[in-house]
Amino acid sequence: SSGINAEWPLRPGGYLRLQSNDPTQHPLIDPNYLDTEQDRWEMRQCIKLTREIFNQPAFDEFRGKELRPGLHCNADDELDQFVRQFGDSTYHPSCTCKMGTDSLSVVDPVSLNVHGVSNLKVVDASIMPSIVSGNLNGPVLMMAEKAVDVIRGRKMLKPAYNVPVYHPPTLQTQR
């Protein structure tokens, strides 16, 4: 069994807005997941790769017929419609108020304050400048630890140099 479930970065066009000034009302969220041709192309590639993987001989004894989107669904517009109808996110939203110093940034990377707003800090996955390829838990815990130091006025640790980083030999050739 396989499903269409992806982590997408919010590309231009998606938004997170307040519904009103009532803090008990949920925000308005529209990620516009399939707004760009890049989004649609990536999801079509996911379906094609999933089919390729499950059509390998190693799966012969386990594989039944394809239930969704079904073998009849091959054209780009058909695949796009399938993803619109059945795709969903992995519920790890991030990158909605980028931390940085450029014109698109919302949060100051040193103080964690929202630019132009006094005493409002943001410390969660929304301040990530770009989506991580793994689980958000570790990076969010790291940001929270940094926030504690910032709020308590602790100085940043000096950077460690010559720390080894593993680079798999297949990094450039992985599909």
Question: Residue 110 corresponds to which amino acid?
Answer: V
Is position 115 annotated as part of the catalytic site? no
Catalytic residue among 72, 92, 115, 167: 92
Task: Give CA separation, 6 vs 59, 93, 109, 151, in Å.
Answer: 23, 11, 28, 34
- Cα four-point dihedral sign 95, 32, 37, 42: positive
Helix (H) or strand (E) holding 88: strand 88-89
DSSP 8-state class, residue 158: P
Instruction: Tell me the catalytic residues.
Output: 92
